[in-house]
Amino acid sequence: MKPAGRVSSVLRIALRVIADFLIVQTAMLAALMIVALQYQAGSDQSVRIGLAELRHYYLTLFLPLSILFPCFYAISGLYTTSRTYSKALALRRAGSSAGIAALGMLSASFLLPHSETLPRIAALIFSGLVIVGTPGIRWLKHTLFEHEKAERPAAAPRGQVVLVVGGAGYIGSIVVRTLLKRGFQVRVLDSLVYGASAIEEVLDHPRLEFIRGDCRNIQDVVGAIRGAGAVIHLAAIVGDPACDQDHQTAQEINYAATRMMIEIAKGEGVQRFIFASSCSVYGASEQIMDENSQVQPISLYADTKVDSEQALLAAAAPGFHPTILRFATIFGLSPRPRFDLVVNLLTAKAIKDKVITIYNGEQWRPFLHVADAAASIVQVLEAPVALVGRQIYNVGDSRLNYRLTDMAEKLVKVFPHTRVEHIENSDRRSYRVSFQKIKGHLGFSCSKSLEDGIQEIKAAFESGQISDYSAALYSNVKYLKLHGSPVQNNKLGSLVMAALAQKA
């Protein structure tokens, strides 16, 4: 950070400390004033004694101890990390911090020798005012400046473009639209394996640059990364069946290309690198898995994600800050619809076939709407790099950990004439995931439920937006079987991929 930036940051923190200190003083003076008014019913002498005691308490005891409030707020991150939280979480953090600080100050004043005891009513009034006032002033500031801030476009990292690799895909097409709405300069690198329909409507946007290219081609990647301030890497052969279709292509795109992008990004001075991974890296487990749990990939797709994660973390450096997002099982509509995803597929079958099949219904899965997946990427991009750099986040919401049987029940509520068939087979993959880290660090939680995803797919069928859900375009593995794996036509790129596909 430049010296001017450090001075500005210190000044902003100092102003917040002063504001909080004044809130504490105002709350205590108000509480003492209310107590003083109660003294008016007594004799003149008792009033004078009472006021003298209150004055003495404030000047000799409370005033020195009140410094505990901004000190505790600083320790709890109220002036630093909580600024990246959502508004609701930041306000809750401010209120709880104020309550704990008030309890600590009152306890300290009670334990000190030769100290006057604050009247109980004054302690209650003071605590209430501080607990309300500390988040209240933040809510007021947010409300007054929210409109102005919303109209001001977000500044891209280093004032440069954000590169979205795979920006025409299922998640990427939403990420691109979100970034454009938030004022970013966006560049997309995509080979358009599944066509351009997902981003056609934004191709003429003045802040969008589109490059049709292969993430395995070194020239394409160098040209796309040059001048970028951040890379969002979403390109992949997604899903176990699609990866099993062609192991070599899956290894090249999902792993070798990631290694190549890392080296090019570092060489070009890119600070941020956001990588889309998957909760499938956890394999099967009876435990609730968090970011510290041991990964146990049991498919090629999961293997490539684990290998890419390890390459990114090994490459982290003072000027290169990767962030890994392990997405839950995604569902919901996107500009590039997919019906090879369990919630989307079963919803389509309930609509068209009136029959759904649930395999091993007691298995657990974490679910995540595609719009929430995109929102998490943008939230990480906008967070302080010191907070999210070199971090792994499970992306989802604990409320969306469901057994497959529970998911079927939600479908039947929307489509009551659906018949549910339960079948047991040898696939015993089952896992639940904790999402406390991303909620605690960034205040992230999902805005859309399973029911929301089911209803929007239903509406898409009813409006005629989707008719034949079994079309190859809506399924990665069907499309690749029909059209073949994306071909690497560049000889140099083929040689580079062959070298990088070997695990480091």
The residues that bridge with 278 in the sheet, in sequence order, are 327
pTM beyond 0.75: no
> What tokens were used for 474?
């809506």
Residues of the chain with CATH 3.40.50.720: 157-500
DSSP character string of 82-133: GGGS-HHHHHHHHHHHHHHHHHHHHHHHHHSTT-PPPPHHHHHHHHHHHHHH
65-92 burial, b if ≥16 CB within 10 A, otherwise e? bbeebbebbbebebbebbbbbeeebbbe
What superfamily in CATH does domain 157-500 come from?
A: NAD(P)-binding Rossmann-like Domain (3.40.50.720)
Q: Lay out the sheet containing 272-278: strands in order across.
A: 208-212, 186-190, 161-165, 228-233, 272-278, 321-327, 391-395
The residues that bridge with 331 in the sheet, in sequence order, are 369
The residues that bridge with 26 in the sheet, in sequence order, are none
Residue 384, pLDDT score = 92
Closest CA to 324 of 382, 377, 371: 377
> What tokens were used for 148?
């102005």
Q: What is the pLDDT tens value at each position of the chain, 504 positions in all?
A: 444 444 555 777 788 889 888 998 998 888 888 888 876 665 666 667 767 877 887 888 888 888 888 888 888 777 765 554 556 667 787 888 888 888 887 787 777 665 566 778 888 888 899 899 888 888 887 777 654 444 444 444 545 799 999 999 999 999 999 999 999 999 999 999 999 999 999 999 999 999 999 999 999 999 999 999 999 999 999 988 889 989 999 999 999 999 999 999 999 999 999 999 999 999 888 889 999 999 999 899 999 999 999 999 999 999 999 999 999 999 999 999 999 999 999 999 999 999 999 998 899 999 999 999 999 999 999 999 999 999 999 999 999 999 999 999 999 999 999 999 999 887 767 889 999 999 999 999 999 999 999 999 999 999 999 989 999 999 999 999 998 888 887 778 788 888 888 776
For residue 360, is it left (φ>0), alpha (ψ between -120 and 50) or beta?
Answer: left
Residue 444, pLDDT score = 93
**CB distance 282 to 431 below 8 Å:** yes
Q: How far apart are CA 95 and CA 41, in angstroms?
A: 35
Residue 82, pLDDT score = 55
Q: How far apart are CA 296 and CA 43, in angstroms?
A: 78
Closest CA to 214 of 235, 195, 199, 231: 235
Residue 113, pLDDT score = 63
